């Protein structure tokens, strides 16, 4: 038993409480907070140590718990909060609650300015994270939680935040922005909201130290002030800043800030990027406006050629779809809008159909067919992806079972699983259960996981081993499109390597691409792994793959994804 931490406090909050009340009524909002309370009790919190802090927020005292129980209670809250069981009377249109969990020592809480918990929640909102742990003297406790990928920040750092940069605090900025939005006609039609973010500030902090990180933040604040001396500027959260301006010269100013911030360190040029949102009367809410500017800023991520980006019609449409998908995800699954499509996989040697890949489509009654790129990331964010994946799996099993019963010829299938599936549910058991239910032999089902799902920490190693021990094949999807493909080959055992279609894009006439694909195939062969190349569109590509001994091919040349049950080959 370790030391009992001094007076620990946790905050549980429904971040989208206002949305829920607007969509499903305030009774639903209240019922969800009541469910949250029960959930906290089930995590080991004494009901007597709990009080409602705001409409959407519960403050929990955890200090009565011994250290191990305290850690496990927090752990259970983080994991379970995403899957909060909702009271049955809540209407199906109700958005999925986004529960945030935060914790800190009461001492840290008290040393904050007023409304500390509200500060914390606002901070979490802006960091878009579900949990924040603030460490004071109890560093060792939090360090053991750090492994879970939770934001980690000293409360000292947080406490200094705004007096520290000299810019406005986030609450004040939001209030001012709201005022401007409410009277936009008086301010003219060219008011812009600028959202600045330092690319990969975490790496900078890691590469140097917190003092150096603080200096960089001060430098950014200084440069923003320098370019926008008379405008409203704020420090939103750790490495994010905002400006409200009617300057017509914002692009040049952003470029100037970017340039001077890059000069901060020679060996590690930090990049500060900016999203620009031109305020419009239709956006009535300050938080929505900030979100739009933030999305525009996200658009610049990983692009070295873009310093700033406007929130344009394309982003607007994407944001709309995102919201729409998030709000209707449960309904889509329930109402069978999610359809399973199948794309043929061809044996290179025989030219025959040998397998198919199941791919999800969202067949929306209002918006038509949506592609996975439009809904998979949102479902992952909403922690609903496992539900979709299990629907696709059930469809595949059902289809194979019908073929087997009616004597229709069939081939094995692969199903894509997301990394989160393994965290949100016992995916391996779910796959086994689906096969048992439809009496499908395990060798007929392969599981595709992408490289990005398997990080280098080997977190999913055990799950992948379990799949293979149970007779399922594990196929590595999109091989070569990330950074760690080769490392993963060292750490995991795969049955098939699916080479990313990007390799074929410029293959014709590019000898280097050909050499790379041929080497990947030959390396896989020497490791005893079968190979499949995706995105085959031309007969030249087909001949080349045949020549280099690739085992299987998939692509529009053989067939596009079609509704499961239709003939797979054109």
- What stretches of 279-424 adopt beta strand conformation (E)? 308-310, 338-347, 353-364, 368-370, 412-416
DSSP at 417: -
Mode of pairing for the β-strands spanning 57-61 and 50-54: antiparallel
Q: Say which residues have a Cβ less than 8 Å from residue 94's Cβ, sequence separation at least 6.
A: 20, 23, 24, 28, 86
How many angstroms separate the CA atoms of 79 and 72, rounded? Answer: 10
So which residues are the catalytic ones?
Answer: 534
Instruction: For 424-440, give the secondary structure using H, E and C.
Output: HCCHHHHHHHHHHHHCC
How many angstroms separate the CA atoms of 116 and 104, rounded? Answer: 10
Closest CB 466 distance from ligand C2E, rounded Å = 18
Nearer to Mg ion, 308 or 449 (CB): 449
Q: Does 556 bind ligand C2E (CB under 6 A)?
A: yes
Residue 426 CB: number of other CB atoms within 10 A?
14
Say which entry of Mg ion, ligand C2E, none residue 537 contacts (CB below 5 to 8 A, set by partner kind): ligand C2E
Could you tell me the two tokens for 497? Answer: 């390597």
Binding-residue pattern over the window 526 to 545 for Mg ion, x denoting contact by CB under 5 A:
--------x-----------
Using an 8 Å Cβ cutoff, are 118 and 100 in contact? Answer: no
Closest CB 395 distance from Mg ion, rounded Å = 16
Among candidate residues 284, 303, 185, 180, the one with its CA nearest the CA of residue 242: 180
Nearer to ligand C2E, 201 or 544 (CB): 544
Residues 499 to 538 in contact with ligand C2E, rule: CB under 6 A: 501, 534-537
How many angstroms separate the CA atoms of 464 and 446, rounded? Answer: 11
Closest CB 257 distance from ligand C2E, rounded Å = 36
Half-sphere exposure of 425 (CA within 13 A, CB side): 20
Binding-residue pattern over the window 357 to 396 for Mg ion, x denoting contact by CB under 5 A:
----------------------------------------
Among 389, 395, 448, 463, binds Mg ion (CB under 5 A): 448
Q: Does 416 bind Mg ion (CB under 5 A)?
A: yes
Closest CB 500 distance from ligand C2E, rounded Å = 8
Q: Does 138 bind ligand C2E (CB under 6 A)?
A: no
Binding-residue pattern over the window 403 to 422 for ligand C2E, x denoting contact by CB under 6 A:
-------------xxx----
Say which entry of ligand C2E, Mg ion, none residue 1 contacts (CB below 5 to 8 A, set by partner kind): none
Closest CB 450 distance from Mg ion, rounded Å = 7
How many angstroms separate the CA atoms of 499 and 476, rounded? Answer: 8
Q: Say which residues have a Cβ less than 8 Å from residue 306's Cβ, sequence separation at least 6.
A: 273, 299, 300
How many residues make up the chain in this entry?
570
Q: Does 540 bind ligand C2E (CB under 6 A)?
A: no
Half-sphere exposure of 479 (CA within 13 A, CB side): 25
Nearer to Mg ion, 255 or 516 (CB): 516
Using alpha carbons only, what angle is made at residue 151 by residues 149 and 157, rounded to the nearest 5 degrees?
150
Using alpha carbons only, what angle is made at residue 485 by residues 482 and 489, rounded to the nearest 5 degrees?
165
Closest CB 360 distance from ligand C2E, rounded Å = 3
Could you tell me the two tokens for 534? Answer: 């995706």
Q: Say which residues have a Cβ less than 8 Å from residue 192's Cβ, sequence separation at least 6.
A: 244, 245, 246, 247, 250, 276, 277, 278, 279
Q: Does 477 bind ligand C2E (CB under 6 A)?
A: yes
Nearer to ligand C2E, 258 or 542 (CB): 542
Nearer to ligand C2E, 243 or 417 (CB): 417
Nearer to ligand C2E, 67 or 562 (CB): 562
Closest CB 157 distance from Mg ion, rounded Å = 41
Nearer to ligand C2E, 95 or 480 (CB): 480
Say which entry of Mg ion, ligand C2E, none residue 549 contacts (CB below 5 to 8 A, set by partner kind): none
Q: How far apart are the first and last CA of the chain?
A: 66
Nearer to Mg ion, 162 or 478 (CB): 478
Residues 298 to 357 in contact with ligand C2E, rule: CB under 6 A: 343
Nearer to ligand C2E, 220 or 376 (CB): 376
Binding-residue pattern over the window 366 to 385 for ligand C2E, x denoting contact by CB under 6 A:
-----xxx--x--------x
Closest CB 497 distance from ligand C2E, rounded Å = 13
Closest CB 501 distance from ligand C2E, rounded Å = 6
How many angstroms separate the CA atoms of 278 and 184, rounded? Answer: 11
Using an 8 Å Cβ cutoff, are 343 and 357 in contact? Answer: yes
Among 360, 384, 413, 424, binds ligand C2E (CB under 6 A): 360
Say which entry of Mg ion, ligand C2E, none residue 389 contacts (CB below 5 to 8 A, set by partner kind): ligand C2E
> How many residues belong to the site for ligand C2E (CB under 6 A)?
26
Return the bridge partners of 412, or none.
355
Using alpha carbons only, what angle is made at residue 274 by residues 268 and 278, rounded to the nearest 5 degrees?
175
Among 389, 451, 463, 551, binds ligand C2E (CB under 6 A): 389
Among candidate residues 330, 146, 122, 395, the one with its CA nearest the CA of residue 240: 122
Which residues are at the interface with Mg ion (CB under 5 A)? 416, 448, 477-478, 534
Which residues are at the interface with ligand C2E (CB under 6 A)? 343, 359-360, 371-373, 376, 385, 389, 392, 416-418, 448, 450, 477-478, 501, 534-537, 554-556, 561
């Amino acid at each position: 038993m370790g030391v009992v931490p001094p007076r620990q406090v946790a905050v549980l909050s429904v971040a989208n409480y206002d949305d829920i009340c607007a969509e499903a009524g305030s009774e639903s909002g209240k019922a969800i907070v009541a469910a949250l309370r029960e959930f906290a009790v089930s995590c080991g919190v004494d009901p007597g140590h709990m009080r409602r802090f705001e409409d959407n927020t519960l403050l929990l005292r955890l200090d009565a718990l011994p250290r191990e129980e305290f850690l496990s209670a927090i752990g259970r809250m983080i994991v379970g909060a995403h899957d909060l069981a909702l009271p049955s009377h809540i209407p199906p249109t109700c958005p999925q609650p986004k529960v945030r969990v935060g914790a800190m020592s009461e001492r840290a809480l008290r040393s904050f300015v007023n409304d500390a918990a509200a500060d914390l929640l606002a901070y979490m909102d802006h960091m878009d994270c579900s949990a924040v742990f603030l460490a004071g003297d109890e560093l060792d406790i939090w360090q053991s939680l750090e492994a879970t990928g939770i934001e980690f920040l000293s409360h000292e750092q947080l406490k200094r935040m705004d007096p520290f940069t000299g810019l406005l605090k986030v609450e004040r900025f939001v209030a001012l922005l709201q005022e401007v939005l409410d009277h936009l006609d008086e301010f003219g039609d060219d008011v812009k909201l600028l959202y600045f973010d330092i690319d990969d500030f975490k790496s900078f902090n890691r590469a140097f130290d917190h003092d150096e990180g603080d200096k960089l933040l001060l430098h950014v604040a200084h440069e923003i002030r320098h370019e926008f001396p008379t405008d409203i500027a704020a420090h939103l959260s750790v490495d994010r800043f905002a400006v409200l301006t009617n300057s017509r010269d914002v692009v040049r100013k952003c470029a100037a800030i970017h340039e001077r911030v890059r000069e901060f360190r020679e060996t590690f040029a930090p990049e500060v990027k900016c999203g620009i949102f031109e305020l419009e009367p239709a956006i009535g809410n300050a938080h929505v406006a900030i979100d739009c500017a933030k999305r525009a800023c996200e658009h610049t991520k990983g692009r070295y050629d873009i310093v700033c980006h406007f929130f344009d019609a394309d982003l607007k449409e994407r944001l709309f779809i995102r919201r729409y998908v998030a709000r209707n995800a449960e309904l889509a699954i329930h109402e069978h809008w999610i359809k399973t499509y199948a794309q043929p996989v061809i044996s290179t040697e025989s030219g025959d159909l040998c397998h198919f890949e199941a791919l999800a489509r969202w067949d929306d009654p209002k918006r038509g067919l949506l592609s996975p790129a439009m809904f998979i990331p949102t479902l992952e964010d909403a922690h609903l992806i496992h539900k979709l994946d299990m629907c696709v799996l059930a469809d595949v099993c059902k289809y194979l079972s019908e073929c087997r019963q009616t004597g229709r010829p069939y081939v094995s299938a692969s199903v894509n699983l997301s990394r989160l599936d393994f965290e949100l549910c016992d995916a391996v058991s779910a796959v086994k259960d689906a096969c048992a239910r439809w009496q499908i032999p395990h060798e007929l089902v392969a599981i595709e996981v992408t490289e990005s799902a398997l990080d280098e920490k080997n977190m999913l190693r055990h799950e992948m081993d379990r799949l293979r021990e149970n007779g399922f094949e594990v196929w590595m999807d999109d091989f070569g499109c990330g950074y760690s493909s080769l490392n993963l080959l060292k750490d995991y055992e795969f049955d098939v390597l699916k080479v990313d279609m990007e390799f074929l894009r410029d293959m014709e006439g590019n000898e280097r691409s050909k050499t790379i694909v041929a080497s990947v195939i030959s390396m896989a062969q020497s490791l005893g792994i079968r190979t499949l190349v995706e995105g085959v569109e031309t007969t030249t590509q087909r001949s080349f793959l045949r020549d280099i001994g690739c085992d299987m091919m998939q692509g529009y040349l053989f067939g596009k994804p079609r509704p499961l049950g239709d003939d797979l080959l054109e």
